[in-house]
Amino acid sequence: MDRFDNIPEIALDWMQAGRKVALATVVETWGSAPRRVGAQLAISDEGTIEGSVSGGCVEGAVVAEALEALEDGAPRMLEYGVSDGDAFAVGLACGGTIRVMVEPVGPVLPVALLEELVTARAARERVAVVSPPQESARRLVREGFEQRFRMDRSGFEEDGSFVTIHNPPLRMIIVGAVHIAQALVPMARLAGFDPLLVDPRPAFGSSERFPGETILDDWPDEAVTALGLDGRTALVLLTHDPKLDDPALMAALRSEVFYIGALGSTRTHAKRVARLDEAGFSDEEIGRIHAPVGLDIGAAGPAEIAVSILAECLTVLRKG
């Protein structure tokens, strides 16, 4: 997990160690702000910090406010922009402005809620923390906010409540440890995915070809079932072999994965569609497959194909 993405876990660890903790959350941005809405910073009563709300010395001002909040038990709503000397020094350029909500854990954000949040995140459940304008009414919800969950977008509701979205980490399961996968794996990781390779063929799925990566040598249908197929998972099929691709594909089509991409020409995909139709899949289910995989950017070579796959995957994730 990225060190900026495990702030609730760090905050709970500090609380369990007997320290007072506040969470600072970016709730609004304008212009060239360096961190997106929902980014968090944990601050302990000892002045220790983890995470980021801006990437620079705005953190110093936020920490000072958080320490005061830990003393009086009241939340803070802070705003920094180019007109503020501290914020300008950190490089909030081009009119960049941020608003930051500071919540002491305990007096404002219940410890039990933080514990439930951490448990849900560990179980790869999607949850949201709703912070109404009233100090003492924070709650954890699992239903509603479908658009926010899909877009991974925290923000204010019409009633003035701020909704912090906590989605499971993104995963990309790649079936087929081929040359395209060698380019796609590092690209996916840079884009925030946890890539997992599946290939039962030792010559392909070797640590020499993919040093340091997670490689499952199971049959793809067994592997994807064991890994779990949820709404934060993308499945990319690269083997060109129906014996390997089809079983994993069939498992994915009746799951909640947000993206399914399959390598192959238009003719290859037509044969794939015929096989799936014969297996009883509906036109709607089959229509979820992106094939030939990747955006049509005129890609030539494995690296460019990998770029097209990742771009298409992110387009589906962010735009539907």
87 and 127 Cβ atoms separated by less than 8 Å: no
Distance CA 112, CA 209 (A): 45
In the predicted structure, residue 209 carries a pLDDT above the cut 60 = yes
What is the predicted pLDDT for the residue at 2?
Answer: 44
Non-local CB neighbours of 72 within 8 Å, separated by 6+ positions? none
What is the predicted pLDDT for the residue at 257?
Answer: 94
Question: What are the structure tokens assigned to 99, written together?
Answer: 């608003």
Give, to the nearest 10 degrees, the angle between helix 111-122 and helix 7-16. Answer: 130
Q: What is the CA radius of gyration of the chain?
A: 22
pTM higher than 0.85 = no
pLDDT confidence bin for 261, thresholds 50/70/90: very high
Residue range 23-73, pLDDT digits in tens: 999 999 876 666 789 999 999 999 999 998 876 657 888 999 999 999 999
Place of tokens 């929902």: 38
Distance CA 303, CA 309 (A): 10
pLDDT confidence bin for 3, thresholds 50/70/90: very low
186 and 197 Cβ atoms separated by less than 8 Å: no
In the predicted structure, residue 4 carries a pLDDT above the cut 50 = no
What is the predicted pLDDT for the residue at 83?
Answer: 54
Residue 190 φ/ψ region, left for φ over 0, alpha for ψ in the -120 to 50 degree band, beta for the rest: alpha
128 and 164 Cβ atoms separated by less than 8 Å: yes
**34 φ, ψ (degrees, to nearest 5):** -80, -15
In the predicted structure, residue 21 carries a pLDDT above the cut 90 = yes
In the predicted structure, residue 307 carries a pLDDT above the cut 50 = yes
In the predicted structure, residue 123 carries a pLDDT above the cut 60 = yes
Residue range 188-207, pLDDT digits in tens: 999 989 999 999 998 898 88
Average pLDDT over residues 104-125: 94
Distance CA 292, CA 314 (A): 16
CATH architecture of 170-319: 3-Layer(aba) Sandwich (3.40)
What is the predicted pLDDT for the residue at 85?
Answer: 54
What is the predicted pLDDT for the residue at 251?
Answer: 94
259 and 310 Cβ atoms separated by less than 8 Å: no
Average pLDDT over residues 214-242: 91
Non-local CB neighbours of 215 within 8 Å, separated by 6+ positions? 177, 197, 198, 199, 205, 206, 207
78 and 62 Cβ atoms separated by less than 8 Å: yes
Place of tokens 């899909």: 150
What mean pLDDT is reported for the chain? 89
User: Taking the domains of the chain in order of start, what are their residue ranges?
Assistant: 7-166, 170-319
Q: Tell me the residue type at 202.
A: P
Q: Which residue has the higher pLDDT, 183 or 54?
A: 183
What is the predicted pLDDT for the residue at 20?
Answer: 97
